[in-house]
Every structure is written in structure tokens, then in C-alpha cells.
Amino acid sequence: MARALNAVKSSGDLKQDFPALHRPVNGRAVAYLDSAASAQKSQYVIDAMSRVMTEHYANVHRGVYTFSSETTIAFENARQKVARFLNAKTDKEIVFTRNTTEAINLVAACLGQSLKAGDEIILTELEHHANIVPWYFLKEQKGVVLKIVPLKLDRSLDMAAFERLLGPKTKLVAVTQMSNALGTVVPVAEIAAKAHAVGAKVLVDGSQAVVHLDVDVQGIGCDFYAFTGHKLYGPSGVGVLYGRYDVLNALPPYQGGGEMIEQVTFDKITFKEPPYRFEAGTPAIVEVIGLGAAIDYLNGIDKAAVRAHEQKLLQEAEKRLAAIAGVTVYSTAPERAAILSFMIDKVHPHDVATVFDQLGIAVRAGHHCAQPLMKALGVAATVRASFALYNTMDDVERLAEGVHKVKKLFQ
């Protein structure tokens, strides 16, 4: 059984809520430092999802019988939880998708229909491939021009360069709020204000930011905000697209099918209002409810304590790695959170990750779906340790031990 939510107060003891973290890997309890790729799930979320299927599972928005109406209520409650979590004006601004990737593809497909050759979209060097490839499709299909904001030497975003790229042809600025590869935090409210001043729309990729920052879509002033459930301690298979209502309402439908229509004849079809216009077919029912439970879990803990805890872990890890000769750290922007990208001299990141696994430490090695960023850093890959609310100082200790062990083996 899940603990009562009000029993969860501070970040020191949250590990016990996540059963998988107690499983030994190669003889030791896992030091899970890959939450930026996907986070572990609390017993609270696991129980909530299991409850749907054991107590009242049915399709949503359709049946009049008890199972269906109970499941529909739980499903729509999750939409309200997401709306409050992001500080959206109304839950009609919350579209459920499969993940961030689909949320961004949705905007590219729908907004893209009104773009023409020569229109400009501004991206940044920090972007995940999910916030590059859908726009590249528009470049190929429509002749839209992609402009890229570079990084400064400290690997924060070059805001002066951003302002120089903005102009009357800019139709959209698509930018991450927090880099998944470096942890760099981006001033998205400032970007949104400047983009709106030239009449451009703004899409924020919040995949990492929702996990580590307090997000307020009205405060940011963005038109779209995308995130993915599985990084927010929720299930995979569900993501969210927030869209300001008037902006969403001006978009054509995305996929066609059931649930998104008002009236269908073979001659004429009319579509529902947002968000349903963008939710064709049976949604990820259990996963959406699981995402709502993940948000309940987060609302039940002391957020400020969690933020402070994660910063403490990051700072300690940085301190420990800085003290080891032959380690290069790439996460150096003044504003950063929860992610530490580094290399050990003369050792391939995949070898580092393989040795780490033998020690029961899970980290990511690779390009982190951000090849243009790796190119800007002048590397093919890095090792990435990422911290989450359930990590402890012991995990940081294990990371430092692991680096020493790799150095002994390879140098």
C-alpha cells in the first residue's frame, strides 16, 4: 500500500517510496542516476494505475454505465491536475499526447499548415532531437528557414544572438526550458516576451523543466508547452501539450478519428473544440490517470525542499568531480539544475557507463538525442549523471567512487 501522502514531507526519505530503487544490481542497491532519460515510479503511482484496472476499467467519454463514468471522471480529473500543475487558465488547454515528441509533432503538423517558404523558425543549439526534427520536416516540405541560437563559452544561451535572429519573418521560437544533456536553464519568459514583440509564437519544451523547476505557463507567457509523463515519475505512453486556448482553437485538427469529431457524414465533418479536437482515438487511459497520480504525489511533498535537495546533490557531485584530475565537466552554465555531463580523459563514455554498471551505478553515455549540441561542445558523446528527488548523498559518493575506479582501470 502507498503511504498516506501527508506522511511524505521532506526529500531525505523519498527513496523508500520507489520500490525499484531497492533492487540490488551486481550486488549493491542500484545508484540510479539516469532519471533525465526516464524516472522511477513511486508505489503511489503504481497503486493508482493498478486500481483503475482492478476496480473500474472501461473506455472513456462513451459508456453511460458505472465503470465508464468512473474511469471518465478519473481521466478528466487528471486533466485538471495537469492544468493546475502548469498554472494553465483552464483544463481545455491541456491536450494528452503520447509524449513530448508527439506534442511537438502535433504543433509542427497543425501550425505548419499555415507556414510558407521563407517563414522563419528559431531553435537553439541546446535542443533535443524531438525539438529539431519536426521543424526540419517543415523546412523540407515548405521551405521554412531554421535559425539556430548558439551557446556562449559558458554554455548558456547567447541571448544577444537570439535578439539578432528575431525579425518580422520569425513565426515561431521553439526552445527548451532546461537542457537534457547539460542541465542549462533557459530564460524562457524573456524569450517569450521578445518573440511576441515581433509577432512570433513560442513553444517551450518542458520535458526536464517540469521535473526540476516550478513551472507557470501563464508566467512564462508561452503559446505552447510540452512535457512527457515518464520523466515526471509517471508512466510512459502519455505526454502533454499545453496550448493557450485561443491559439489551440485556431489550429486545424491533428489526426482524424473517433472522439475528435462533432458530426460526420461522407460529405462534411465538423470537429470538436480543444482539447478533444487533438485527441483522436482511445487515449492512454490508465497512463493518463497514472500521470495525475504522479502529480498528486509531487503535490504531497515539500517542493522547495526537493529543489534544495537536488541542488545540494548537484553541487556536491560537481565538487567531487572537480577534485579528480582528468575529468572534464560540460555542465557549466550559471543557471543549471540536476544534470552533470562529463568526460574522463582517454576513456570512451560507453566504457565508463559499462564499468559503472558493474558497480550498480546507472548513468547515460551517448549524445543524449542532442547531436548538434555535442557538435557545439566538440565531442561525440558525454557521460551524464542526472539527479532526482529520490537520490541521496550516498548516490553521489558512489558516482565519485565509480570515476576513481574507471581511472584505475584505464589510466
Ligand X SMILES: *Cc1c(COP(=O)(O)O)cnc(C)c1O
Query: Known catalytic residues?
Result: 369
Q: Are 371 and 129 in contact (CB under 8 A)?
A: yes
* Sites for ligand X among residues 373-402 (CB under 6 A): none
Distance CA 208, CA 185 (A): 10
Among 128, 171, 194, 407, binds ligand X (CB under 6 A): 128
Q: Does 184 bind ligand X (CB under 6 A)?
A: no
Q: Are 188 and 157 in contact (CB under 8 A)?
A: no
User: For 22, which DSSP code?
Assistant: G
Q: Are 186 and 336 in contact (CB under 8 A)?
A: no
Q: Does 180 bind ligand X (CB under 6 A)?
A: yes
Among 71, 176, 382, 391, binds ligand X (CB under 6 A): 176
Among 124, 228, 331, 382, binds ligand X (CB under 6 A): 228
Q: Does 119 bind ligand X (CB under 6 A)?
A: no
Q: Does 35 bind ligand X (CB under 6 A)?
A: no
Nearer to ligand X, 104 or 361 (CB): 104
Please measure the distance between the N-terminal and C-terminal CA atoms of the chain and give it in whole angstroms. 48
Count of beta carbons in the 10 Å neighbourhood of residue 404: 11
Distance CA 272, CA 278 (A): 9
- Tell me how far, at minimum, the Cβ of 165 lies from ligand X, in Å: 21
Distance CA 87, CA 405 (A): 46
Distance CA 148, CA 188 (A): 15
Nearer to ligand X, 34 or 205 (CB): 205
Among 94, 130, 182, 232, binds ligand X (CB under 6 A): 130
Among 102, 38, 10, residue whose Cα is nearest residue 302: 10
Distance CA 239, CA 237 (A): 7
Nearer to ligand X, 2 or 133 (CB): 133
Nearer to ligand X, 124 or 207 (CB): 207
Give the interface segment with ligand X, choosing from 126-134, 245-253, 272-280, 324-332 (CB under 6 A).
126-134
Give the interface segment with ligand X, choosing from 18-26, 116-124, 127-135, 270-278 (CB under 6 A).
127-135
Judged by DSSP in three states, 205 sits in strand
Nearer to ligand X, 181 or 344 (CB): 181
Binding residues for ligand X, per CB under 6 A?
Answer: 99-101, 128, 130-131, 176, 180, 205, 207-208, 228, 231
